[in-house]
Amino acid sequence: MEASLQMLFSWLAMPSVGLPALGLVAFLAATFLPVGAEPFLLGYLELVPEDFWWAILVATIGNTLGGLFTYWMGFAGRNFLEARLKGSKKRDLRVLVWLEKFGPKTLLFSWVPVIGDAIAGLAGWVRLPLLPCTAYMLIGKTARYVLIAYLYMAFKP
């Protein structure tokens, strides 16, 4: 087991496969897995600062695709549950009512640690429209990565 982990870490070593690895980590960070892409992004920028915008682009696309995967999990989860609980009494949670009220704009906050993944999953659960959800998710995640990367590069020791 330890040898396989060592092989995985050596394969993900930067900068040899840095951008693909950054995309993968950013994808995983937008699912319910407890992974953060920011340290990986900042580490990559420390090694290859001239790839600033490429790193932002790859991290944003990976993280948005991960958010869409989480959205799909919520969508599929509801379909699965409804198929098994035919005729049962539905109970709306307050957060679901809130999501339905504010719509896809709530996905601007899908980048927020801890609650962001839940927002994306619940957006799928309540079946918010995919295209606007994707656009707002992309805007929020891009803004976060640009801000984090810019502040790091501007104020790094």
Q: What is the pLDDT of residues 33-56, one digit of tens each?
A: 888 899 999 989 988 899 999 999
User: CB 125: neighbour CB atoms within 10 A?
Assistant: 22
Alpha carbons 133 and 135: distance in angstroms, whole number: 5
Specify the pTM: 0.81
Contact 134, 68 (CB under 8 A): yes
What is the spatial distance between Cα 117 and Cα 137, in angstroms, rounded to a whole number? 11
Residue 101 one-letter amino acid: K
DSSP assigned state of 109: G
Amino acid at 148: I
Given a contact cutoff of 8 angstroms between Cβ atoms, the answer to whether 34 and 68 are in contact is no
Q: Give the integer Cα–Cα distance in Å for 25 and 13.
A: 12
Q: Predicted confidence band at 92 (pLDDT cuts at 50, 70, 90)?
A: low
Confidence of residue 157 (pLDDT cuts 50, 70, 90): confident
What letter does residue 89 receive in the DSSP assignment? Answer: P
pLDDT at 22: 92
In this structure, what is the dihedral angle of CA atoms 136, 142, 144, 149, given to the nearest 10 degrees?
180
